[in-house]
Chain A
Amino acid sequence: MKRFKNIVLVAAACLVGASALAFTGCADAEDVVTLRVCSWEEYIDLGRWDEEEAIELESGTIFGENAVYDDFTEWFNNGDHGFKVKVEYSTFGTNEDLYNRLSLGDEYDLVCPSDYMIMKLLAEDKIEEYSEEFLSFGGEENYYANNVSPYIDSVFTQYEWKNYAACYMWGTTGIVYNPDKIADEADVATWNILLNENYKKQVTIKDNVRDAYFATLGIINSETLTSSELSSVQLSSLLNDTDSETIAQAEDVLKRIKENVYSFETDAGKADMVTGKVIANYQWSGDAITIMDEAETDETNGTELWYSVPDECANLWFDGWVMLKNGIDGNAQRKEAAEAFVNFLSRPDNAVRNMYYIGYTSAIAGDTVFEYLDWNYGAEDDVETIDYDLRYFFGDDEKYIISADRSCFEIEDGDGQVINRGRQLFAQYPPENVKNRSVVMLDFGDKLAEINQMWINVRCLDLLDISPVTVGIICGVVALVAVAAVLYAFRYKLFIKHKPKKGYKKIEE
């Protein structure tokens, strides 16, 4: 025993020694700060573009050679900051995944959660405030403050996130669909498509309680939402309704949805949409763009897919960079590096790189981004065009109206306004009227457990739902097998220990 103790002691000493060495290794190179960044999977340009992928704009060519975070390291270390930086970039799959990791003690300096998770982290006082310098307009390398869209800025001011979060990507949720397989356009103009029996087992929904709950609220309140003009406050309260009564109602609707849809999907929806296994797919706008691009270029069954924002309401979402208190830990250099990272991502050419690579919509406005849009979506000379107004996002100037291909939008007969359905540009930047009908889905707060229980009830097999016939069949089969096994064992005296007869002895092997 004593020897064992000694061994353990020596082993422990070795470990301590090794880690001490490792620490001194860090301390020696005092001027290198490690920045721990955690963001969504596939949410940043990783470089290695093909040569023909280069985006040639008038203001210069944009090309992704290396990952953006490597470019950041190079950019930062070439600058005059008095210290060097090293980026440790990791990813998470869901907001809940990130939150669980944080509560288990993982430390990150900069993370990129969604709106409701920012709210939750803010409420728990885990977020480090951005410095005044970062937030102030004008500084030479203040790319975020200088270039963030006035619209995004107003939203972040409205929800009081502005000092804590720097928006990275944003978008809506809606339905990607194949117009050739849809009987009537009106079918995809409503969340009710999830319950539409004409498309039984042909539509997918997101496997995530928040998105599913939102669509359900859209279905429940469909009449109110479509029949009357609601103020944004009214909209928001209707679609953030977490009354117990509403939750119970949502449970019924979701159970019907479960019977009607093709599947609850986490990631398979993209491929299923492109290969044509499903005809419509509840999707986030950025992924919708990826799907449309892929379906278009698919060699075997290239199709033109569309994106619809249901008439009732769309969910407006934002992902933002926040610095975490326990990661930054009062270290001024680390904070400076984190802010520089956000600024570097917000430099318009980098914003374009990320947008091109991941398909989502950057929060960064500015002429370079607009030029990219024009390069990407501007109509050719020989097609009929419409003026697609993006002034709400880029700023109040006539030049921010794109002359886009008319056939890529659903247009109202009367006033020629773009409504509710369109292709890539529509999905990437919703028109102002769609944006105005959208709401941000807030954190469930202390209703989370109740809503999650509702979700579990929907997804689980309820004992009371099993029909007596099924129970009878199962019991019958089980009984039959059991009886057969017992009979067999008895017939051949299996598993019965034989006692030797009197006068005999069992020989041990």
Chain B
Amino acid sequence: MMKGLCFNRKHLCIPYAAFLILFVIAPLIVIFYYAFTNGQGNFTFDNFVNFFTNTNTIGTLLYGFAVAIVTTLVCLIIAYPTAYILARSKFKKKYVLLLLFILPMWINFTLRITALKEILSVLEGNISAYPFLNSVIGMTYDFLPFMILPLYTSLLKLDNSLLEAASDLGANKFTVFLRVTLPLSVPGIVSGVTMVLLPSMTNYVVLDMLYNSTFIPGSLIFSYFSAYDWNNGSLISLVLLIIVFIVTLVTNRFSDNEKDKRVAIL
């Protein structure tokens, strides 16, 4: 018996396994169960068929995509030069600069969005007139650090001698960037994109707070749940899950670097 109680390193994973089972596997099973049953608990594909034949739900999915993709692009456009400058600058305390970008993440995001709302009100006047624009601005504000960080790490470890070699071989600065820097930073771009694209598809609180009254998938799930319709709500969660899965599969092909994956988990 005493021997049985012996503790070895494998047992360190018990907390994680318990967490995984309780909070990942079990909820997934519940989602699957509800997605393929109706209110009476009978097996059905109706929820599935309804989802893909209703122009409103598909429209919502597309709208969510539109917000997410535009947000991701804007983040990328802002984050790339920032990360590039940060990573290549000779400034000794660049961590301080980086900190400036990460700092907002330490403040609760509803607070930040409330502040943003006031700023936008001053700039735009009546902010309810530009719901899509505001949603994108809000999401960008919220998710920008998630884009900067992976880009920064992938650009930081870029080998300077490669750039020098390219210049030696006659490439001008632009060509060096296009043929060396950019391709080598693709893993960073990919993990940045994954980290911004997926959460911004469901973060409906930002839309709510910035007066966009059009639903995105997250708000649709909430709306079903508040009418006690667990089945349709679960189905949408499942659809989102499948989309996430596909995106991850595609991006994993590009991001073969262990370090970037670690950043992605951060």
Contacts and interface: CB of A to CB of B under 8 A. Distances in A.
A and B bind: yes
Interface of A: 2-4, 6-8, 10-11, 94, 96-97, 99-100, 103, 201-202, 207, 209, 258, 261-266, 268, 277, 448-449, 452, 455-457, 459-466, 474, 488, 492, 494-495
B228 A494 contact: no
Contacts of B129: 201
A466 B5 contact: no
B214 A96 contact: no
B49 interface: no
B86 to A, nearest CB: 24
Interface centre among B55, B63, B214, B226 (most CB of A within 10 A): B226
B227 A96 contact: yes
Contacts of A103: 228
Contacts of B208: 207, 266
A277 B121 contact: yes
Given A3-B4, A3-B6, A492-B178, A99 B214 contact: no
A448 B224 CA distance: 11
Nearest to B8: A3
A498 B228 CA distance: 56
Contact of A459 (B55, B126, B214): B214
B5 A456 contact: no
Contact of B58 (A2, A8, A448, A463): A463
Interface in B1-19: 1, 4-8, 10-11, 14
- A-side binding surface: helix, strand, loop or mixed? helix
Contact of A460 (B1, B7, B57, B183): B57
A262 B223 contact: no
Contacts of A207: 208, 213
Interface in B178-229: 178-179, 183, 186, 208-209, 211, 213-215, 219-220, 223-229
B229 A264 contact: no
Contact of B55 (A2, A7, A452, A464): A464
B227 A462 contact: no
A346 to B, nearest CB: 31
A494 B186 contact: yes
B117 to A, nearest CB: 8
Contacts of A464: 55
Nearest to A10: B5
A465 B223 CA distance: 21
A209 B183 CA distance: 50
Given A460-B57, A465-B59, A492-B183, A264 B178 contact: no
B59 A466 contact: yes
Contacts, number: 106
Contact of A100 (B178, B179, B228): B228
- B-side binding surface: helix, strand, loop or mixed? helix
A452 B11 contact: no
B165 interface: no
Contacts of B227: 96, 209, 448-449, 452
A136 to B, nearest CB: 37
Contacts of A452: 223-224, 227, 229
Interface in B221-241: 223-229
A100 B226 CA distance: 8
Nearest to A265: B211
B62 interface: yes
Contact of B254 (A3, A461, A462, A495): A495
Nearest to B217: A460
A448 B7 CA distance: 55
Contact of A461 (B178, B186, B214): B214
Contacts of B8: 3
A456 B215 contact: yes
A24 B1 CA distance: 29
B215 A461 contact: yes
Interface centre among B4, B66, B129, B178 (most CB of A within 10 A): B4
B213 A264 contact: yes
A382 B60 CA distance: 60
A263 B213 contact: yes
A99 B226 CA distance: 9
B62 A459 contact: no
B4 A2 contact: yes
Given A6-B4, A99-B228, A463 B209 contact: no
Interface centre among A277, A455, A494 (most CB of B within 10 A): A277
B257 interface: no
A484 to B, nearest CB: 12
A268 B11 contact: no
B179 A459 contact: no
Contacts of B219: 459
A263 B220 CA distance: 17
B226 A263 contact: no
Given A96-B228, A460-B220, A7 B14 contact: yes
A2 B5 CA distance: 10
B132 to A, nearest CB: 10
B56 interface: yes
A461 B226 contact: no
B128 interface: yes
A97 B126 contact: no
A11 B4 CA distance: 13
Interface string B99-127: 00000000000000000000001000010
A6 B11 CA distance: 11
Contacts of A258: 213
Contacts of B225: 96, 100
